Amino acid sequence: MTGALRTAIYRDLLLAMRRPADVYTAVIFFVITVTLFPLGIGPEPELLRAIAPGAMWVAALLASMLALPRMFASDHADGTLEQMLLSAEPLGALVVAKVTAHWLISGLPLVIVSPVLAIQYDLSADTLGVLVLSLLIGTPVMSFIGAIGAALTLGLRAAGVLLSLLVLPLYVPVLILGTGAVDMVSAGSSAQAHFLLMGALLIVAVVLAPWATAAALRVSSE
């Protein structure tokens, strides 16, 4: 099973490298959105520090959603999804591989560029570290949750709109905990409780989301 997971991840990463626009779109959207907030609000340092967590997290949330419709769309179009359904490997395990590849393509780049973009908001080193760590924990949760919505809307018309309606309410706890962790550190308190809750969400998502996604894929393929 480990070899199958590595092969599935490598395949999706290779396909993404052949379509670099899919990778750049989310990063460019994230950069533009995060940069527009300081330009529109003004140069007040205190105000920028106050809105930084929400601005960064909302931009990351919207950017990660851009790649969700493509998570299973190409496999559905070329018949790979049917082969996955007939594979001897558990479909849930293959979903984990695809979600991991999706996060490496669309989530990890956002985490990498976030420290550079956060300089615009005059964040301290401690606050910046908490922001990056919260994105590192929270973006995989969004990928696993988004996979369920992508599977449910696979092959439907106006799938992007339906996907947003399904996924955005489920992203709210991650958004609240991610921004709350940064706010707590900015106020001089500890963000340990927020990180523990985010870690719990990540564990629940890793355990339950792949099987829910697999069930949705079976329904969508019928």
Could you report the per-residue pLDDT of 41-85, keeping only the tens digit for each? 877 888 888 888 889 999 999 988 888 887 887 777 777 777 777
pLDDT of residue 31: 92
- For the cut 70, the answer to whether the pLDDT of residue 152 exceeds it is yes
CA dihedral 207, 68, 76, 7 (to 10 degrees): -60
Closest residue by Cα to residue 56 from 160, 182, 149, 166: 182
pLDDT in tens, 105-126: 888 999 999 999 888 888 888 8
- What average pLDDT does range 166-195 have in this prediction? 90
Single-letter residue type at 58: V
Residue 192: pLDDT over 80: yes
pLDDT of residue 218: 85
Single-letter residue type at 208: L
- Scanning the chain, the segments in alpha helix (DSSP H) are 2-18, 20-41, 45-66, 70-78, 80-86, 91-102, 108-118, 125-152, 159-186, 192-221
pTM of the model: 0.88
Residue 1 reports pLDDT greater than 70: no
In whole angstroms, what is the distance from residue 70 CA to residue 66 CA? Answer: 8
